[in-house]
Structures are given as C-alpha cells and as structure tokens.
C-alpha cells in the first residue's frame, strides 16, 4: 500500500493529520506501510498532485476524502467528521480508508 501525506509547510494541520494517520497505521503492526511526506510549494505541483489543500492524504495514489468539486490549491484544508469540521480526517475515517485499501 502506498500512503503519502502532502502538505503546505506553513499549515499546522498536517501535524494533526500525521498523528492521526500514525495512530490508524498502528493497526498494521509489523506490516505497517511507510508514509511518504511531500511539501507542496507551487501551484503547478498542487495541480499535478491533485492537492486539495493541506493536509492531503493519498492512499494508492487517490485522495479518498476529495469531492469532485473541491478546489486544488495551496491552502489549509478542512474535513467533515462526525463532530463537524475537522482540520484532518479522524482516526476512524483513516482506519476505514486504510482497511478498504488492503
């Protein structure tokens, strides 16, 4: 499984996403996939990567949280969670996505 965390350096939300992603990945134990990190710093790279804002988590090359109309760009991103607006996907959302990608 390929897991990538893309972020804008100035957006603090990627640290929350990193912590939640690591917690979700702990379920894999010894088979835990490595996470690749990428700073997105240009509009061109954001367009190439389908970067919907910081943080963006790609699983096997796909952003499982992106909507068809979500804009591409160099901004902080928000997510919808059970409690409302979140600055990163919840651990439960990530566990679900990762389980389906196995």
Which CATH number fits the domain that encloses residue 81?
Answer: 3.40.30
64 vs 2, 10, 17, 50, 100, CA distance in Å? 13, 23, 14, 12, 10
Q: Which two tokens stand for residue 5?
A: 């965390």
* Mean pLDDT calculated for residue range 40-50: 94
Average pLDDT in the chain:
95
Tell me what pLDDT residue 75 has: 93
- Residue 24 predicted with pLDDT over 90: yes
- Rounded to whole angstroms, how far apart are CA atoms 9 and 55? 10
Give the range of the structural domain holding residue 27, as residue numbers without chain letter: 3-101
| Structural domains of the chain, count | 1
Q: Provide the pairing of β-strand 35-39 with 3-7.
A: parallel
pTM, entire model: 0.93
* Mean pLDDT calculated for residue range 46-63: 95
- Residue 102 predicted with pLDDT over 90: no
């Amino acid at each position: 499984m390929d897991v990538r965390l893309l972020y804008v350096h100035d957006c603090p939300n990627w640290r929350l996403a990193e912590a939640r992603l690591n917690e979700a990945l702990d379920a894999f134990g010894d088979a835990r996939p490595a996470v690749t990190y990428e700073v997105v710093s240009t509009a061109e790279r954001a367009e190439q990567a389908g970067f919907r804002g910081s943080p963006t988590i790609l699983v096997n090359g796909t952003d499982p949280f992106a909507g068809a109309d979500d804009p591409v760009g160099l901004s902080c991103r928000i997510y919808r969670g059970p409690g409302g607006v979140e600055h990163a996907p919840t651990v439960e959302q990530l566990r679900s996505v990762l389980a389906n990608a196995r």
